[in-house]
Amino acid sequence: MIKTALVAGGGIAGPVTAVALRKAGVEATVFEAYDLPADGVGGVVMVAPNGLDALSAVGVDVGALGHPTTTMVMEDGRGKRVMEFPGLPDLPPSRTMWRSDLYRALNEHAVANGVKVEYGKRVVAVEEGPDSITAVFADGSKATGDILIGADGIRSTVRTLIDPSAPGPEAVGLLGIGGYGPPVPGTGGPEVMHFAQGKRAFFGYWADPEADRTLWFSNLPDRGAMSIAEARAVPQDEWLRLLRAAHADDVPARDVLDGAGDLQVIGSLEILPTVPRWHRGRMVLVGDSAHAPSPSSGQGVSLTAESAVQVARCLRDLPDHASAFAAYERLRRPRVEKIAAAARRVNRNKAAGPVARAVTALVAPVVAKLLTPQRMFGETHSHHIEWDEPVTG
Q: Which amino acid, 379?
A: E
State in angstroms the smallest separation of the CB of 120 from ligand FAD.
10
Site membership for ligand FAD, residue 69 (CB under 6 A): no
Residue 301 engages ligand FAD in binding (rule: CB under 6 A): yes
Q: Which helix (H) or strand (E) holds 84?
A: strand 81-86
Output 197 or 302, the one with its CB closest to ligand FAD: 302
Site for ligand FAD, residues 127 to 156, rule: CB under 6 A: 151-153
> If binding is defined by CB under 6 A, does position 8 make contact with ligand FAD?
yes
DSSP 8-state secondary structure symbol assigned to residue 321: H
Give the x/- contact pattern for ligand FAD in 247-286, rule: CB under 6 A. -------------------x--------------------
- Binder among 18, 26, 28, 33 for ligand FAD (CB under 6 A): 33
As a whole number of angstroms, the distance between CA 51 and CA 71 comes to 17
Is residue 12 close enough to count as binding ligand FAD by CB under 6 A? yes
The strand ranges marked E within 99-137 are 116-119, 123-128, 133-137
Binding segment (CB under 6 A) for ligand FAD, from list 5-13, 53-61, 64-72, 248-256: 5-13
Q: Does 169 bind ligand FAD (CB under 6 A)?
A: no
* Furthest-apart CA atoms within the chain: distance in Å: 64
Instruction: By CB under 6 A, name the one of 104, 122, 200, 213 that touches ligand FAD.
Output: 122
Applying CB under 6 A, the span of 78-86, 111-119, 202-210, 289-297 interacting with ligand FAD comes to: 289-297
**What distance in Å separates the CA atoms of residue 181 and residue 215, rounded to the nearest whole number?**
6
C-alpha span between 219 and 253 (Å, rounded): 12
Q: Per residue in 196-210, is it b (16+ CB within 10 Å) or e — as a string?
A: bbbbbbbbbbbbbee
First vs last C-alpha separation in the chain: 15
Q: Is the peptide bond before 252 cis (omega within 30 degrees of 0)?
A: yes
Bridge partners of 132? none
Q: CB under 6 A: which stretch of 39-47, 190-198, 205-213, 327-335 binds ligand FAD?
A: 39-47
User: What does the binding site for ligand FAD look like in residue numbers (CB under 6 A)?
Assistant: 8-14, 31-34, 38, 43, 45-47, 122-123, 151-153, 157, 176, 266, 287-289, 292, 295, 298-302, 304
